[in-house]
Structure 1
Amino acid sequence: MSQLTFIQNMGGGSILLFGLLYLIFWVYCLVDILRSNFKDPNMKLIWILIILFAQLIGPIIYLVIGKNHKSDTF
């Protein structure tokens, strides 16, 4: 219990909250890629690799650029 108090006193509570929010954001982007149809079938694999290897900026790049590569048909 004293370790948790130490983490909170050091500002670790905000770090844990940021990490949890980032994890949710990352999983959302990964699920969105897996469920989507793309104009080029290879783009799904490329976006998954970008999300996996560009951990910090990959999901942001996907939301900015990747949405334009999706197919309009379902």
Structure 2
Amino acid sequence: MNLLSEINWAVIAPILIIQFILFIVALVDVIRIERTNGPKWMWVLIILFINIIGPIVYFIFGRRQQ
């Protein structure tokens, strides 16, 4: 338990908040959008299992430009 008290939460908390916001926004977007580059189920798995990088990859490559 001593390890948890040594963590600098002022650095970690903003990263966790940004990750959570990216996660939620990407999931909502992939559900609402009609078509994506590739199957939707694949993008949901990428967003869910590849933490911070997954939502960013979805927004760069997964959204179909119209």
TM-score (norm 2): 0.74
RMSD: 2.3
Where in structure 1 are there 5+ consecutive unaligned residues?
A: 1-5
Where in structure 2 are there 5+ consecutive unaligned residues?
A: none
4+ residue runs of structure 1 moved beyond 2 angstroms?
none
The structure with more radius of gyration: 1
Q: Which residue of 1 aligns with 2:47?
A: 51
Q: Kindly provide the CA deviation profile for residues 14-45 of structure 1, in whole angstroms up to 9, marking residues without a partner as x.
A: 211210121011110011001111167x7111
Q: Figure out how many residues of one structure are paired with residues of the other and give that number.
A: 62
SS in structure 1 of the partner of residue 39 of structure 2: helix
Aligned-residue offset at 1:11: 2.6
Residue 62 in structure 1 maps to residue 55 in structure 2: no
